[in-house]
């Protein structure tokens, strides 16, 4: 299938600011393969990098994000594939001394009667309750609250779940000599995946290969979408044929043919 390049989206990824005095030390994605009735225990390691004590709230929310820039944090158990009801926290409020490290423990109890295979998820929010920064402009006080969102992802029978990645929109962004392919990708399947986007470019007249280029990998939850960026600055202006490629950690692959026009 051939598609003329027309559109441009931008992505706001669901990673929150790192300027706060609180840092998460052991990753923002905790991924588990689970079975019905299984009980799992995990922890989030955090540190207060400030010299003063810091109060921190811990709570669960559901998460969705989209290639048009929307990131939605909503009430837990709102999403039909939410696992927030499976998660029990050991605390909802802690105080860290200056420079102190602390573990927040959680327990995931998978129900006995889960019938739908695939991915269930929620996010654990780490939110300092003190004001980190403030500034006054025209008499209005502006405050910044810094948070982290740790994804708690549970896969039920992932070997039977469906992976289905769709090409939604694609465009070329040109800034001086820099050229980037912007590719919006949607996960229409039932399983969390971590795809890489790529493009193979060919001379439209001779058919000879001009080059292959890839994005970095990004996690993609079911019913969400993200914008992948592929740097093709090394390709000279001109008209080309190209193949867009998506591949993930489970060797699933998807492709689409396009006509590629690179202007000066």
Residue 258's DSSP bridge partners are 242
**Residue 216, token pair as written in the block:** 């970095």
Q: Looking at domain 165-262, which CATH architecture does it have?
A: Sandwich (2.60)
Strands (E), 38-117: 39-48, 54-65, 71-74, 87-89, 93-96, 101-109
CA–chain centroid gap for 107, Å, is 23
Q: What tens digit of pLDDT does each residue of 86-96 get? A: 999 999 999 99
**Residue 63 near residue 123 (C-beta atoms within 8 A):** yes
**Residue 39 near residue 108 (C-beta atoms within 8 A):** yes
Q: What is the pLDDT along the chain (264 residues), one digit of tens a residue?
A: 333 333 222 223 333 334 448 999 999 999 999 999 999 999 999 999 999 999 999 999 999 999 999 999 999 999 999 999 999 999 999 999 999 999 999 999 999 999 999 999 999 999 998 654 445 555 554 455 679 999 999 999 999 999 999 999 999 998 888 999 999 999 999 999 999 999 999 999 999 999 999 999 999 999 999 999 999 999 999 999 999 999 999 999 999 999 999 987
pTM, two decimals, is 0.86
* Domains 22-158 and 165-262 agree in fold: yes
Does the domain at residues 22-158 carry the CATH identifier 2.60.40.10? yes
Domain coordinates in residue numbering, the chain = 22-158, 165-262
Q: What tens digit of pLDDT does each residue of 5-32 get? A: 332 222 233 333 344 489 999 999 999 9
What is d(CA 132, CA 125) in angstroms, rounded to the nearest whole number?
17
**Residue 97 near residue 36 (C-beta atoms within 8 A):** no
């Amino acid at each position: 299938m051939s598609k003329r390049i027309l559109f441009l989206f931008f992505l706001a990824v669901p990673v929150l600011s790192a300027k706060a005095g609180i840092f998460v030390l052991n990753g923002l994605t905790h991924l588990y393969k689970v079975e019905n009735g299984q009980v799992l225990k995990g922890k989030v390691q955090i540190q207060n990098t400030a010299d003063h004590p810091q109060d921190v709230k811990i709570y669960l929310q559901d998460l969705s994000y989209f290639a048009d820039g929307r990131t939605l944090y909503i009430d837990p158990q709102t999403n039909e594939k939410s696992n927030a009801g499976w998660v029990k926290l050991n605390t909802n409020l802690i105080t860290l001394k200056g420079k102190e490290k602390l573990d927040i423990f959680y327990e995931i109890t998978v129900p006995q009667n889960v019938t739908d295979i695939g991915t269930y998820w929620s996010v654990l929010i780490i939110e300092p309750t003190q004001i980190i920064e403030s500034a006054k402009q025209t008499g209005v006080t502006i405050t910044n609250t810094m948070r982290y969102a740790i994804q708690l992802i549970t896969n039920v029978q992932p070997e039977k779940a469906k992976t289905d990645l769709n090409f939604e929109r694609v465009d070329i962004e040109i800034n001086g000599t820099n050229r980037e392919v912007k590719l919006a990708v949607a996960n229409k399947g039932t399983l969390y995946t971590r795809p890489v986007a790529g493009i193979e470019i060919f001379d439209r007249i001779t058919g000879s290969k001009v080059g292959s280029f890839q994005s970095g990998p990004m996690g993609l939850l079911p019913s969400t979408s993200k914008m992948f960026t592929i740097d093709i600055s090394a390709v000279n202006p001109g008209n080309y044929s190209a193949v867009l490629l998506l591949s993930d950690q489970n060797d699933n692959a998807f492709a689409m043919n396009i006509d590629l026009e690179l202007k000066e």
